């Protein structure tokens, strides 16, 4: 089931603000962040110029959040692209709390 329109707009705006804070202006030609929507989930990517063709950008999945029963569940991707529940954070109604968890990355599971 797709995200409700208001929830989608909220998550889009908050993730975009997060990227603006996280990526310094002087390196945005080397790294950027983006997200995509699919059903009830939002997948966050880090993008870098492809090593063989700098005009193309490679996507590396960072995190995924899924919305269910008015709560957000955070997931991380393994090296094979399979998503796993991030056990260090219970499902949250507060979307900002989820973004803070990704940003802090205390387990180094999102950004390494």
The pLDDT tens digits of the residues spanning 59-110 come to 999 999 999 999 999 999 999 999 999 999 999 999 999 999 999 999 999 9
The one-character DSSP state at 106 is T
Closest CA relative to residue 7, chosen from 39, 33, 32:
39
pTM value surpassing 0.75: yes
Does the pLDDT of residue 43 top 90, yes or no? Answer: yes
27-44 b/e (C-beta count within 10 Å ≥ 16 → b): eeeeeebebeeeebbbbb
The strands making up 32-38's β-sheet, listed across from edge to edge, are: 32-38, 41-49, 57-68, 71-77, 83-85
| Spatial CA neighbour of 14 closest among 92, 95, 111 | 95
């Amino acid at each position: 089931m797709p995200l409700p329109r208001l929830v989608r707009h909220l998550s889009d705006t908050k993730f975009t603000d997060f990227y603006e804070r996280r990526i310094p202006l002087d390196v945005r030609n080397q790294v950027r962040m983006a997200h995509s929507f699919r059903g009830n989930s939002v997948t966050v990517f880090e993008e870098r110029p492809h090593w063989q063709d700098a005009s193309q950008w490679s996507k590396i999945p960072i995190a995924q959040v899924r919305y269910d029963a008015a709560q957000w569940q955070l997931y991380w991707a393994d090296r094979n692209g399979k998503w796993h529940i991030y056990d260090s954070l219970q499902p949250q109604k507060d979307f900002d709390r989820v973004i803070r968890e990704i940003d802090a990355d205390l387990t180094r599971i999102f950004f390494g």
